[in-house]
Amino acid sequence: MNNFMKNIDFFKSNKNLNTLKNSNSNSNSNSNSNSNSNSNIFSKVYFRILFGFILALFLTFSAVKSYGFLTPHLTRNITVGAFPYGVAFAANSNYALVSNSDNNNISVISMATKGVVASIKVGSHPAGLAISPSLTFAYVCNVASGNVSVLNMATLTKSLNINVGGGPVNVAFTPDSKLAFVANIGDNQIDVINTNQNTVIKRINVGKSPSGVAVSPNGKIVIVTNAKESSFTIIDVSSLSIIRTIQTGKNPTSVAFSPESSPEHYIYIASGKGNAIYVYKQKNFTFVRKFRTLADPSSIAISPNGMMLFATNFQNNSLSIYNAIHFNHIKTINLPNGPITVAVSPDGTAALVTITSASSAAFIRIKSPVKTYAAVAPPSPAVTSTATSAVSSAATSVTAPPAANYVNTNNNNSYASSTNSAITAPPSNYVPRPFGKVATIYTGRGPTAEAITPDGKYLYVINTQSSTLSVIDVAKGTLVRTLKVGGYPDAVSISPDGHYCFVVNSSSNTVSIISTGSYY
């Protein structure tokens, strides 16, 4: 634990590191030739043009196959708490969580608005965190207080704390959400938690300073990186016993798996001091190869299609993207000082990087064709993510986010609504699109929460800064009417029969009740 806190102090003190700049020099050569026949010259030129065109087409289609026209770029920086350390996505890509070590809280980011919609108080010096595949809860590792905070993802509040070993730094869930594996850097152990009981059921001794932990996509094994032993430990999930420990690069800091949909199935280990990523086969753990990165890759993540690998370069203040199958470099994006962790959204459209010195999270947009899946809309009220997310700690009547309504029922990629509507899309790719189209609708100032009528026809959005309520026609994608409500509205909900809208106004200590009338 002391070593981990020293690392945190080291991260904080290195805010003026130089960014590596690559300069490429290009040389051009010109050749001139003489020919006795104008027709021969024309034939040669024509042949070269045709050959170049065919070659360009070949390279283009090769690029499509390898990269899928994936072109990540920095979209914006999202302000969070002091010294953000960890980041995790919900499986439906609605929310991302960021742990703020110096503020002892968790920032909840709406992926619809790319803004913070809630702040949750947890234990002392939170580090690694993960949202369960069931979307119902999340675990946060509190390094200094030696416990794990359990978050309710429906209400976005803390439920309880679970005492674990010394210096918990990272956590990972099995695909069925029944077990959680917590890496304790202080006592060189992995705590296994039964998530139904929220109790530790076993402690497994691993190597020195375990930091990274990841569960394989099929849920059969767990990989733990041991930073001070330059090794990683493989744990069998069914027996909760160690299979073997393998030597790897110096100071392994992070681990990632290829998804099951990937054309190849690898285990990726980031070597912090070795400035490299080591690749192993998932099937038999044999070494494949290593490839060089920039300085100090502190965290890695794989895109959902298994084609791209993202690595944060702490010393170089950047994020590098590689082809995860052929291991060649795709792009490097410069970031503010202190990028630590990276996570890719389950739908493959974005990546988030925590930036320590700037107290922010860098939002990386990944341009890529994303297949959308049709889904039957649930009959009960559901809050959507078109403009903002419905979050409120002041009112318990606010409808839960869509994340609470969709669950993986039998762990075979069937994604079903907890109400009664079936969804055939795999959970890693499903993106809720209740309106069937994307439209920009201008409401009042500071839209913060919304509720939709049970029939899905009208959306009610509260605008905090203008103290108004906007009514939106979902099918037409147009603003119907804007109504004045109380001061600083921060929660909204629709009655089960759809006849009334309730708005909680925090600064005026009132509740506005609006008859939906013809707007339902």
Which domains are present in the chain? 122-247 (2.130.10.10)
Of 337 and 510, the one with more pLDDT = 337
For a pLDDT cut of 70, what percent of the chain falls above it? Answer: 70
Residue recorded with tokens 């390279």: 59
Query: Residue 365 has what pLDDT?
Result: 82
**Four-point Cα dihedral 73, 78, 80, 84, nearest 10:** 10
Of 428 and 502, the one with more pLDDT = 502
Query: Residue 15 has what pLDDT?
Result: 35
Residue 371 has pLDDT above 60, yes or no: no
Query: Residue 471 has what pLDDT?
Result: 86
Residue 478 banded pLDDT, cuts 50, 70, 90: confident
Over residues 55-67, the mean pLDDT reads: 43
190-196: long-range contacts (C-beta < 8 A, 24 or more apart)?
Answer: 190/222, 190/224, 190/235, 191/164, 191/165, 192/240, 193/139, 193/148, 193/162, 193/164, 195/132, 195/137
227, burial (CB in 10 Å: exposed 0-12, middle 13-18, buried 19+): buried
Residue 101 has pLDDT above 80, yes or no: yes
Query: Residue 71 has what pLDDT?
Result: 55
Query: Residue 298 has what pLDDT?
Result: 92
pLDDT tens column, 377-427: 333 333 333 333 333 333 333 333 333 333 333 333 333 333 333 333 333
pLDDT tens column, 267-317: 999 999 999 999 999 999 999 999 999 999 999 999 998 989 999 999 999
Is the pTM higher than 0.75?
no
CA angle 145/223/183 to nearest 5° reads 5
For a pLDDT cut of 90, what percent of the chain falls above it? Answer: 41
Sign of CA dihedral 327, 250, 130, 121: negative
Least confident interval from 88-97, 190-199, 488-497: 488-497
Average pLDDT, whole number, for the chain? 75
Residue recorded with tokens 């949202």: 131
* Backbone φ and ψ of 324, nearest 5°: -75, -10
Query: Residue 105 has what pLDDT?
Result: 94
